[in-house]
Amino acid sequence: MLKPGHSKAVRLVCMASAIAVGAMPAVAALPDQLICKFENVEDLVALPDSEWIIGSGIGNNFSQMGALHVFHEPTATGRKVLLDIPEGTRAQAPYDQCPGPPDPELFSAHGINLKANADGSHDLFVVNHGGRESIEIFRVTKGDSDPEFSWKGCILTPDTAAPNAVAARSDGSIVMSASGVADRPIPTSYQSAQSGFVMTDEQMAKAAQMDIFGAVFTWSRDAGWKKVEQSELAGNNGIELARGGRWAFVNSHPGSSVTLMPLEAGLGKARQIPLSFHPDNIRYGFDGKLVATGHVATVSRVGICFMKNDPHCAIDYRAAEIDPQTLAVTEIFDGTGTRQFGMATIGLKTKDALWLGTARGDCIAKVNFKSSQSRN
């Protein structure tokens, strides 16, 4: 829970916090390939049974004017998704308690996740900060050349929470990780942008030391939003579901850990998985194992770079594989941050490579497994 008086800065700090860590266990390396001209691809997810990867785009330092992206794995090429939502489009159940489509000019994609549908399509769930705080849902189909996107509806998020990441259950209900939770409404990212509120380097350094705790929320059409009891972590971040959607793996960025937590009472105790870095996002790979990816840096350095909208955050990063059954951790890549690519926020493991995105930069990165194994 946030302390009184923190609401002005919380939404900005929640997306930028990190703390210092010790020495890296292996020699840091550079990725094998950069795919550039794609801004701030903070999250990545593979479209099942295809050659495509979907990427978010968190936008500027106020998380406005972002995008969605698609990348073709075999050719390592991509494109920005055009949000062409026809006038008069109405939201579909169960996501029809929605004021209408997002503003394409402001839309900003933070955390993303997919749910398979019976007809072979997928629903893409997107944490949006552009214009409003919401989970936007898009239907994704495999077109003749590349994936096609159509807006399906939205879920407005609680005004006392700072949404970060989302996961969807098979029944269409969702689980959201919020990096900060308050006892009063938190100004939206759009409101912060409109006010022009920008913290100085000194203010950012002080704000990064605040005791900010997030939480996990569930949503269904009938029950609405409910906070999961005892889900508060230091800066809740990335999320993936487990054990039939009744448990979740949740990252604590400043806490240098992943927690496997129950989403319902009576299922058992949560288990914390300590890491040697500060995890941002977490993602299942092609082999069913999880990859947590995050930063090796100080609070001030990450926060200041993020808030300055600096496209050259030369901050070191790390990716670790987690076995969802045994919870064993294996570090798979240590990356050296450069002006071309750094501060990785997501690692997506496919059959041939580890794909990396960042919240600040105009490239995504590709690490070929053979190269990674020979260097680490």
Residue 283: closest CA among 108, 204, 146, 166: 166
Q: Give kind and range of the element (H or E) at residue 202.
A: helix 201-207
9 three-state secondary structure: helix
Q: For 168-192, what is the mean pLDDT? A: 95
What are the tens digits of pLDDT across the range 272-284?
999 999 999 999 9
What six digits make up the tokens of 331?
Answer: 């570090």
Neighbouring-strand partners of residue 6: none
33 three-state secondary structure: strand
The confidence band for 369, taking pLDDT boundaries of 50, 70 and 90, is confident
Residue 367: closest CA among 344, 276, 359: 344
7 three-state secondary structure: helix
Cβ within 8 Å of residue 250, ≥6 positions away:
177, 216, 231, 233, 236, 237, 238, 239, 258, 259, 261
Are the C-beta atoms of 293 and 331 separated by less than 8 Å? Answer: no
Q: How far apart are CA 307 and CA 348, in angstroms?
A: 25
Task: Kindly write down the DSSP assignment for every residue of 145-179, as one continuous string.
Answer: SSEEEEEEEEEEPPTTEEEEEEEE-TTS-EEEEEE
Are the C-beta atoms of 154 and 136 separated by less than 8 Å? Answer: yes
Q: What is the DSSP-derived secondary structure letter of residue 188?
A: P
Q: How far apart are CA 279 and CA 253, in angstroms?
A: 5
pTM of the model: 0.91
Q: Which of the pair, 359 or 12, is modelled with greater confidence?
A: 359
Are the C-beta atoms of 53 and 70 separated by less than 8 Å? Answer: yes
Kindly report which listed range (17-21, 49-53, 132-136, 367-371) carries the lowest average pLDDT score.
17-21
Distance, first Cα to last Cα, the chain: 39
Q: Domains (ranges, CATH) in the chain?
A: 7-375 (2.120.10.30)
